[in-house]
Amino acid sequence: MTRFLTAFRLWSLALMAATIMGLPAAAAPFAAYVMDARTGQPIYRQNSDTRLHPASLTKMMTLYMAFNAIESGRVRLDSKFTVSSKAANEPPSKLGLRAGQQIELRYLIRAAAIKSANDAATTIGEGLAGSEEAFAQQMTQMARAIGMTNSQFRNAHGLTRDGHYSTAHDMSVLGRHLFYDFPQYYNLFSRRSADAGIAQVASTNRRFLDAYNGADGIKTGYTRAAGFNLTASAQRGNKRLIASVFGGTSTAHRNQVMAELLDSSFTRIPDRVREVRPQPPRLLVQGTTRRAQVAATPAATQPEPQRMVLNASPAPVSRPAEAASLVAAAPAAPQVDLTEALRRATEGATPATPAAVALASSPRPKSRPGSKAEAVEQAIAAAVASDPAPASSASLAVPVLAASTRPQPSPRRSASVAAVAAAEPEPNPAVAAATKAPAGSLSLVTSPAPKPRSETVILAAMGEGDLSDPAALEVVRRPTDSGRNWGVSLGLYKSQAEADRLLLGLALQDGGIFGKARRHVANTNRGFEPRFVNLSKGHAELACERMISRSQDCSVISN
């Protein structure tokens, strides 16, 4: 029954205004839609999905695209756009731009949002997309992404054109996304005037903003085919509404209908509800990765000489008699050039005088006749026999080999040392005879396994990597809210209820900054001090700048 009475009252107002102005009642189709901005739930509908001419409400999407481009880093507020002849020749309302003129984006945004300038809107679209047609396609794609299913755009300003349409429902959805997706720019829609670079412009919505208590935006529109349109936002206490009216017969009629809709809707919604924010479109969502940068230190950037430090370990113990004989025979051992011997073997050279190389631990297995391995062995023996080097230049490898014996093999997996020793075969007589080889032979004998190296051995990478001493690892533990020990103070108030109301209203309006902050009212001797705490220093400074721009007392405090 209440809805019927409200609809009847609205139609009565529409008929009365049409009669007073001498216009036909059906000059433009009427539509209206009211939603709870906190949840997106509808409160009132009338022809809300009927496709109508949106007029300059189109500039809401133009501005949404501009804000998106700024936040994604494609342009800046001080980026200069060049005015085309098409933009300069747009019909009023206009800022008065000239073809070829360059103007900063911030002034174009102010002119489009506050004065509803058509030349400024066209310049924004052409500057962002290259042409108005390409920009209109991007506007339609963005509309689909945020849930405007019955909207299609053909230009950036909203003048009547075939195929350019929207609905009261879709424009309310767009208004809600402007409020939640770009709260840092939303206060632009509540300004009564602004500096547009080449002129001071006045708001087309100032009458409704001044007349309706709690109104803070957002956009008007008018063409002969569309009538007088308005999308408005208003807040009272914890409640916020967003509504759209299409087809008003005059500015006064449109504003009166909007006021009636908002008044009746404020009484029908609860004071406290769970806020459900709209999901940003995928075209808008961007992951931001922040990376800490540490200044390079000389120790990390300047290379140091390569060095390898190895702890010395005792040489393996050899048999006394055999070690003495090997050391005595070492000076007479000839120097062997293994590289040259291998080169001769691979080229097919046959050594003239083969010589035997005896190994004491086991006899060398015979190679197949005519194989390459046999040729290599013969080449090594020939190099040893034919080397003309004097005895005074004996090989340096002989003393090293003579002073050590072959280590025993380590146990395999679970086998014990005793099991390995028990399984070792008896020495071969030929091997025993070989151990008593003449002084000119190269002999290796068995010895106990060497002692394990110290655990303090330092190994350094060779050839690449950081060769400097490893820096000490410092583990720093911080609480989960590290760095969030800042807050903002919003002045002094006479009552705690007034301070609480201010904090709640700002939390709903600026959820992007105060969403994770904790509200607190300090009871001081001078009065009640509303505070937002648990903020980082950067968020606290940004919040205070925004509050000061709205003539709200604010100061940054440390918890």
Is 171 in contact with 48 (CB distance < 8 Å)? no
Phi, psi of 493 (to 5 degrees): -135, 155
Q: Kind of pairing, strands 42-46 and 486-489? A: unpaired
Q: Which of 84, 116, 244, 395 is catalytic?
A: 116
Question: Catalytic annotation on 86?
Answer: no
* Residue 60, SS3 per DSSP: helix
Placement of tokens 């809300």 in the chain:
48
Question: Catalytic annotation on 219?
Answer: no
Rounded Cα–Cα distance for residues 45 and 169 (Å): 8
Question: Catalytic annotation on 516?
Answer: no
Rounded Cα–Cα distance for residues 56 and 116 (Å): 7
Placement of tokens 């035997």 in the chain:
356
Annotate 386-413 with b (16+ C-beta within 10 A) or e (fewer). Answer: eeeeeeeebbeebeebbebbbeeeeeee
Placement of tokens 């007392």 in the chain:
553
**Of 157, 161, 165, 152, the residue nearest 86 (C-alpha):** 157
Rounded Cα–Cα distance for residues 99 and 82 (Å): 8
Adjacent-strand bridge partners of 518: 533
Phi, psi of 238 (to 5 degrees): -90, 0
Rounded Cα–Cα distance for residues 549 and 188 (Å): 11
**Of 203, 192, 217, the residue nearest 115 (C-alpha):** 203
Instruction: Provide the residue type at 313 as one letter.
Output: S
SS3 letters for 111-177? HHHHHCCHHHHHHHHHHHHCCHHHHHHHHHHHHHHCCCCCCECCCCCCCCCCCCEECHHHHHHHHHH
Catalytic residues: 56, 59, 116
